[in-house]
Structure 1
Amino acid sequence: MKIITGCLYHETNTFNSFPTSVEDFVLVEGNEVEKRLASTEVFKDNGVEIVPSIYATALSSGTVKKEAYRYFADKFLSVLEKNKDIDGIWLHLHGSMVVEEIGSGELALLKEIRACIGYDIPISLTLDIHGNLAEDFHQYVNIVYSYRTVPHVDQPEVERISAQLLVNAIKNNAKIRPSFKGLPMIIPGEKAVAASEPLRSILDKLKELEQRKGIISANFFICHAWNDTENTRSSIFVVPESEEYKGLADEVTEELANYVYDRRHEFEFNATVLEPQEAIEQALDEPSKPVFISDSGDNSTAGAPGMSTLLLESLKDRDLQDKKVLISAIYDPDAFHQLNSHEVGDQVAIKVGTNIDKYSTPVELEGTLKAKGDLLGYLNATNDKVGETCTLSIGNLDVIIANRGDSFITINHFTRAGVDVNDYDVIVVKQGYLFDELSAISKLDILAMTPGATYQRIEKIEYENIPRPIFPMDME
């Protein structure tokens, strides 16, 4: 048995005006790909000959440049052209990649693959639960298995499951045609956390459906709300064991679609939700530490630029009540370059803010260069250095300035930047919901309703391309 494996992962935010280029991806090729994928152990356990292609992953950001998609697609297709004697293809994709002049990057790649190998060779995908799947996506793939955690911590487990399902299908010579249904609803990620209702019950429902004979995968895709396309909406994707169970898969798809849609009004924020100034006041009044404030409108894990200076402007001249506060991190390449030209310990006067919009107005700061460090990657690249940071200390306020947009989602992100999370009472992060390591130490999570490319009040966003009518913009 011979299977091609690979990963091309990007969650696109079409409200971010900065396009995503090749350089924004972490890329490994050849045998190094096997080390990055949990599917590798499953395939080796089953005696599969693995043909690794590419592993390319990037932080959520703006629309992917056409030439960037072409660069990665051509790398994958070149491996495919040399190995047409394969029995299957296994890929880890996101589901919400948008490419200039093309649209859905995942759909485009699948179409190119099918044009090369036809429809007899099975394709199995691991997908993010925040995928925006095209209406005809299911026609080009056989097996899909999505993450079952938000925040995401189960990618390795899901990779192993989708890999084993592919092996089983090949061994059984199963012909699989999945069922799909789009739902007229958009749910921002911060209203759909796995530990809270109704997503908790929906995920339990998926497990229940997968226990039915003939159903090997039942998936609910929440959607990626800050992706203004014809595919932006929740969806249901059900995979039968074989052609024999296609009718059952259709029935399960309808059942699951009705179950989810009937609970659409139950999706609510699970953190303390406050306007920006109220968020700061409550954080400073909280006696325990650390308190995390999510700058939710500039959430770089969902594709915002990470350049907003709104909370910095509010904090810099404020009485911090002897509290130690950290902002992590503001993306400003010019400010970083100026800071990086100094030595740690130097007194520095600088303006921070790219002035690309009304949310990134430059803020004048004067303080001590406290640290220089590394900027780590996102999700599948949290041990990869993707940029650099400088930390400026202004009294009790520390501000990390980075030379690219990213988010501090693990404790090691702070450590590698040269700061200790234990030193701070209040920590501002460019996130929505807190990622697991931060949530575990947080005494209070505050979701600040800041404006920006990931504005949480989606009913106020001026979408142009989403299907209508749709909830919550069109309540009926």
Structure 2
Amino acid sequence: MPRNILLAQFMHETNTFCARTTGVEAFRGFYCHEDGAVIPALADTQNEIGGMVEVAREHAWSLITPVATFATPGGPVTQAAWESFGERILAAASTADSLDGVLLSLHGAMVLEDGQDGDFRLVRELRERLGPQVPIVVSLDLHANLDPDMANHAQAILSYKSFPHVDMRATGRKAAQLLADRLDGSQRPLATAVVKLPMITLPEGGRTDRTPMTSLLALAQRHEAAHPEIVDVSLNAGFSFSDVPEIGPSVTVVHHGAPALAQRIAEEIGKAMWQARDAEQEAVLSPETAACVALAYAPERQGPLVLADLSDNPGDGAYADSTALLAALDHAYGRAKAPPETLFGALHDPQAVEAAWQAGEGQTLEMAIGGKADPHFGGGPFIATVRVKRLGDGKYRVESPMWEGVEQSCGRCALLEIGAIELLVTSLATQALDLGIFRSLGADPAAKRVVALKSTQHFRAAYGPIAGAIHLVDGGGLTSPDLSRLTYRRVPRPIHPLDAEATST
């Protein structure tokens, strides 16, 4: 008889400082596949589900797939969304004739409206329904705020090793293979050791293209290679924009019956993470300085200048409607004889999208763009006369190494012309982590002199190969790296960098 495996995905990174809650429509708007639609939609993509399905087919498992869904980061997940997706997964576990194992693709930083850790709640309630014998394996995002107690309910917990997250499928495959090894005869013990750090996050959110994360990952890989009983070592950078008791970096070490060794490795890597807590970070420009850099950028350079406003990144739960960088570029370009052709986006403004659709392609109108969610974060509305260049439904298939093959949507959208700037406005807040979000409207980022994005790091997977230069910008949005603008009330204290007296022990 084939093994019966419950496979599900319910992912959200919750910014508790964001006033916009994340409901059912946010999940269905980005991507949401249910029951028999899950495998056809995701099996051949660079999504965790793709890697899990690959192993399932190798082992001829019978898969129960209630839902696979992801919403753009934002405010707390509503009760209705939990009932639609979390309870759907729990119901599938309860009604299955028998289950041999569970594979879950979670984020690790989901917060519900009532303040609960949504990921931990799901795993805990699954364990309560299934009893102690059914193995549960969980894959997480590198930015998980992991509750260490999850390891008491799931046999294996492992995370991405890259940021941008280009190893989603590989992580899903490894998670499924751990479950297969547990089920197929050996019955070796499978457990996870966890060490948590009293920090908000790792430097630069744990980006894996530079130190200190590169050296920390190398240390983890050496331990995996040296000890056959250690089957995975994962480093979670934590998610800094979530005011929760579970906040902060962690180390997970999955092992076969070697708890003392796994704990020692987790503590050694945790110590190294703590020592790297104040590592130098990449310079971040003001919008005005970024505009000057854009004007001076030599057109003969290979590839566009990419300006990434990390402070208004919807991938971190920002509103994606900050106007500070847009206003600075427009002001600087107005004084230039030959302003650079610039592509800007995606800026979240459903009202602007609606106005553009009512006007129609080719029409010119004055509108107030952005700055509507909270003008304190990145400026108020930007008033401009625009030409509606192109309208679209916002659907595109990702070509970037991150989520390659996955169909996503930024909702109904419009490409607007403001002088030398082409501005993408969307009805769903969406990080421009792929070129397709622009190309679906006929705009080619590679052909522009300047590309301005609302992103922190994920953009590098798609835009890094075409960029002539990259600069980070702080436009004063909700996810500015200046954490002094936020008030934390629920995090454990003392904690670095909020408290000078914080220690690792």
TM-score range, shorter chain: over 0.9
TM-score of the two chains, using structure 1 as the length reference: 0.95
2:117 equivalent among 95, 104, 124 = 104
How far 1:112 sits from its partner (Å)? Answer: 1.3
| TM-score, length-scaled by structure 2 | 0.89
| 1:195 paired residue number | 209
Counterpart check, 1:274 vs 2:285: yes
Report how far residue 100 of structure 1 moved: 0.8
Residue in structure 1 matching 2:65, options 49, 52, 61? 52
Query: For 2:485 and 2:360, how far apart are their aligned partners in 1?
Result: 45
Between the aligned partners of 1:197 and 1:430, the Cα distance in structure 2 is 23
Equivalent position of 2:342 in the other structure: 325
Residue 296 of structure 1, CA deviation: 1.4
Shift of residue 470 of structure 1?
A: 1.5
Q: Aligned pair in 2 of structure 1 residues 84, 120: CA closer, same or farther (>3 Å)? A: farther
Corresponding position of 2:466: 441
1:410 maps onto 2:434 in alignment? yes
- The answer to whether residue 491 in structure 2 is matched with residue 466 in structure 1 is yes
Match status 1:182 vs 2:196: yes
The range that moved more, 331-340 or 78-87, is 78-87
1:245-297 CA-to-partner distances (Å, cap 9, x unmatched) read 1222222222221122222222x334x42122111111221113411111111
Counterpart of 1:232 in 2: which secondary structure? coil
Letter in structure 1 aligned against 2:294? A
CA deviations on 1:186-221 (whole Å, 9 max, x unpaired) are 226735221201101111122112221211111111
* Cα deviation 1:423-473 (Å, max 9, x = unaligned): 421111110123311111111111112212211122553222211111222
> Hey, what does 1:335 align to over in structure 2?
352
Unaligned runs of 5+ in 1: none
Measure, in 1, the Cα distance between the counterparts of 2:417 and 2:33.
Answer: 36
Distance 1:418 1:189 in 2: 37
> Would you say the 8 A contact 1:240–1:246 is kept in 2?
yes
Q: CA deviation at 1:316?
A: 2.5
> 1:175: Cα distance to partner?
3.3
Q: What CA deviation, in whole Å up to 9, does each residue of 1:370-405 have, x standing for no partner?
A: 111243588658522340211111221221111121
Contact 1:374 1:417 in 2 (8 A): no
Residues 353 and 361 in structure 1, CA contact (< 8 A), matched pair in contact too: yes
- 1:27 corresponds to 2:66: no
Q: Which residue of 1 aligns with 2:45?
A: none
Measured against aligned partners, the alpha-carbon deviations of 1:333-382 in whole angstroms (never above 9, x if no partner) come to 11110111122111222111253322351222113111112435886585
Take 1:84 and 1:214, find their aligned partners in 2: how far apart are those partners?
Answer: 33
Q: Secondary structure at the match of 1:208?
A: helix
Match of 2:316 among 293, 302, 310: 302
Q: How does 1:36-51 map to 2 (within 5 A)?
A: 36=42, 37-38=49-50, 39-51=52-64
Listed one character per residue, the Cα deviations across residues 19-51 of structure 1 (whole Å, up to 9, x for unaligned) are 000010121112322241221111111222222
CA pair 73-192 structure 1, distance change in 2 beyond 3 A: closer
Deviations 1:316-336 (A, max 9, x none): 233354311222121111111
Report if aligned partners of 2:424, 2:438 keep a CA contact under 8 Å in 1. no
Aligned residues: 472
Residues in 2 aligned to 1:263 and 1:22: alpha-carbon distance in whole angstroms: 39
Gaps in structure 2 of 5+ consecutive residues = 43-48
Q: Is the 8 Å Cα contact of residues 284 and 426 (structure 1) preserved in structure 2? A: no
Which amino acid in 2 is paired with 1:361?
A: G
Contact 2:362 2:388 in 1 (8 A): yes
Aligned to 1:207: 221
Matched, 1:357 2:374: yes
The whole-number CA distance in structure 2 between the counterparts of 1:315 and 1:386 is 24
Measure the CA separation in 2 of the matches of 1:273 and 1:250: 37
- In structure 1, C-alpha distance between the alignment counterparts of 2:251 and 2:206, rounded to whole Å: 15
Query: Please, which of 284, 288, 296 is the counterpart of residue 295 of structure 2?
Result: 284
2:246 paired residue number: 231
Task: Note if contact 1:191-1:269 (Cα within 8 Å) is conserved in structure 2.
Answer: no
What fraction of aligned residue pairs are identical, expressed as a percent? 26
The answer to whether 1:241 aligns with 2:256 is yes
- Give distance in 1, aligned partners of 2:440 and 2:306: 19
Shift of 1:88: 0.6
> What letter corresponds to residue 290 of structure 2 in structure 1?
A
